[in-house]
Amino acid sequence: MLFDLHCHTTASDGALAPAELLARALDSGVSCIAITDHDTLEAYRKLGDFCSAGIALCHGIELSATWQGRSVHIVGLNLRLGCDGLQQALVTQRQSRLLRAEIIAKRLAQKGIRDALEGATAIAGNGMIGRPHFAKFLVASGKVRDEQQAFRRYLGQGKPGDVESGWPSVATVTAWIREAGGTAVLAHPGHYRMTNSKLGVLADEFVQAGGTAMEVVSGRQAPVLTRKLADLASAKKLLASTGSDFHRPGPAWSELGRQSALPADVSPVWDSW
Ligand code: AMP
Ligand code: MN
Ligand code: MN
Ligand code: MN
């Protein structure tokens, strides 16, 4: 079985429509996939009854949360899509994203960049708006060379478009996932630029909140990081998840299902299902 438990579609900041993504995953030999769009389950509504023979669909999401003043992501897996509490929570997450987009646009305007809200909104289409849509707008309007530069100059940590977030706490987000019968997974701990001790505190608080797994592998990551995260998962008695965090074809992201393998000494999250 080849698992990919983290990837994105046009319902958030991915390039492929949900059905296209499933077809590509099947081509890549993935046998179980979780679509985990940012703060939305819209991909599952778009898929409807669509099912692709040969691939199991695990209902997932990537939720934005705040911990000690910075954004962290919590993936939810095996969710009951019809859960009222979760659906309500996603209404507030959408409002937070729209509000944040307005603030980002205002801050860009202060830097002399006009019409960013309209531009990013048009690029997001029906998808959940996020910083990548602003990055695409900045590229299209010639302000930066590429999306990387957009994040380095305008959107990344400490830059004007990095809004001190109005996201809910890790405990709140984890509770939403549990209410929907899901498994809460601390996403890509290697992305947070935290010291090991700080990461340990985050993991402790996550466990206390009812989190039971973490991504030991996320996309293409260095073997030394995989080892460190496997040790952290073992120390905190967290199950291990794995995902490509695929957003679009091309060199910027791992291909679906092509993230490195989980180390043999961790307990895969799917063993608990
Ligand atoms: P948001 O959820 O709106 O805060 O945006 C976060 C998303 O931005 C991530 O899921 C990535 O898709 C993208 N992202 C974050 N940092 C970078 C970067 N340095 N270069 C390109 N994309 C990035
Ligand atoms: Mn993304
Ligand atoms: Mn993420
Ligand atoms: Mn992601």
**Size of the chain, expressed as the number of residues it contains:** 273
For position 166, what pLDDT does the model report? 86
Q: Is the pLDDT of residue 95 over 90?
A: yes
Spatial strand order of the sheet with 3-4 comes to: 3-4, 32-33, 56-57
Domain ranges of the chain: 3-90+182-272
Instruction: Choose which residue among 9, 13, 74, 164 to substitute to test ligand 1 binding: the one with the highest number of ligand atoms within 8 A of its C-beta.
Output: 13
| Tokens matching residue 4 | 């990919």
Domain spanning 3-90+182-272: which CATH class is it, in words? alpha beta
Burial degree of 23 (CB within 10 A; 0-12, 13-18, 19+): middle
Nearest CA to ligand 1 atom 6: 131
Ligand 1 pocket residue status of 73, Cβ below 6 Å: no
Query: Which stretches of the chain are DSSP H helices?
Result: 18-27, 42-47, 84-110, 116-124, 131-140, 147-150, 170-179, 196-208, 223-235
For position 82, what pLDDT does the model report? 95
Instruction: Choose which residue among 8, 99, 147, 151 to substitute to test ligand 1 binding: the one with the highest number of ligand atoms within 8 A of its C-beta.
Output: 151
Ligand 1 pocket residue status of 68, Cβ below 6 Å: no
Nearest CA to ligand 1 atom 2: 130
Mean pLDDT of 70-91: 97
Mean pLDDT of 159-187: 95
Q: Is the pLDDT of residue 111 over 90?
A: yes
pLDDT per position as a tens digit, 19-68: 999 999 999 999 999 999 999 999 999 998 777 778 999 999 999 999 99
Q: Which of 45-59, 61-75, 96-110, 256-270 has the lowest mean pLDDT?
A: 45-59
CA–centroid distance, 36 to ligand 3, in Å, is: 9
Q: Is the pLDDT of residue 214 over 90?
A: yes
Could you give the CA distance from residue 143 to residue 136 in angstroms, rounded to a whole number?
10
pLDDT per position as a tens digit, 117-157: 999 999 999 999 999 999 999 999 999 999 999 999 999 98
